[in-house]
Amino acid sequence: MAGQFFEDIPEGLTEESEQFVASRAEMLAYAQENDPWPIHVDEEFAKSTVFGDITASFGYVVSLFFRGVHTLPINKRSTGDAFLGVLEWQRVRFRRAVRPGDTLRVRVTVVSKQLGRNGDRGTVNSQWQILNQDDDVVIELESVALYRTRSGPPTSA
């Protein structure tokens, strides 16, 4: 499998992940352990809210986000040795609640790129969206990721 280096990522690229489901059991388990607000863990309380049911904690949604990210075609084409990490998450926006049983997917669009001054790595600016089964954007964010170029030193294991 070829590496997915900085040079291989075109500006304007848009891809979508495989679909995944927000599991009620996973949502509750995550929230009970990490984010036990009543809207996330108390089903009787949640019924009395505008949502009518529990909603997913952002932490749980982030775990689903990464589940989807790893199924993106751009990541399936990569050996992983060129991706150096995410430097920033910017402007995280919560548009809709994630509910039990929602079928979600991740969409990424590469907005811009900038080669570093040494030429051995560059940054990739992307727009990310998590969409539900109705094509509603539930969460969106922007990121800046660091990739090495073909001439950059390999990462060590």
User: DSSP assignment of 49-101, as one string?
Assistant: STTSS----HHHHHHHHHHHHTTSHHHHT--SSSEEEEEEEEEEEE-S---TT
* Structural domain range at position 54: 6-148
Instruction: Decide if 62 is inside a domain.
Output: yes
What tokens appear for 89 in the block? 């998450």
89 vs 112: CA distance, rounded Å: 15
Fill in the DSSP letter of residue 31.
H
Residue ranges of E strands in 2-82 = 14-16, 20-21
Instruction: Decide if 98 is inside a domain.
Output: yes
Instruction: Decide if 153 is inside a domain.
Output: no
- pLDDT tens digits in sequence order for the chain, 157 residues long: 245 889 989 999 999 999 999 999 999 999 999 999 999 999 999 999 999 999 999 999 999 999 999 898 877 776 667 888 899 999 999 999 999 999 999 999 999 999 999 989 999 999 999 999 999 999 999 999 999 998 867 655 4
Instruction: Decide if 114 is inside a domain.
Output: yes
Instruction: Decide if 154 is inside a domain.
Output: no
148 vs 115: CA distance, rounded Å: 9
pLDDT value for 78: 63
Instruction: Decide if 42 is inside a domain.
Output: yes
pLDDT (tens digit per residue) in 6-46? 998 999 999 999 999 999 999 999 999 999 999 999 999 99
Q: What pTM did the predictor assign?
A: 0.87
Find out whether 102 and 51 touch, Cβ atoms under 8 Å.
Answer: no
Fill in the DSSP letter of residue 70.
T
Supply the CATH number for residue 97's domain.
3.10.129.10
The total of structural domains in the chain comes to: 1
Please work out, in degrees rounded to the nearest 5, the angle formed at the alpha carbon of residue 141 by the alpha carbons of 147 and 139.
135
Instruction: Decide if 1 is inside a domain.
Output: no
Instruction: Decide if 157 is inside a domain.
Output: no
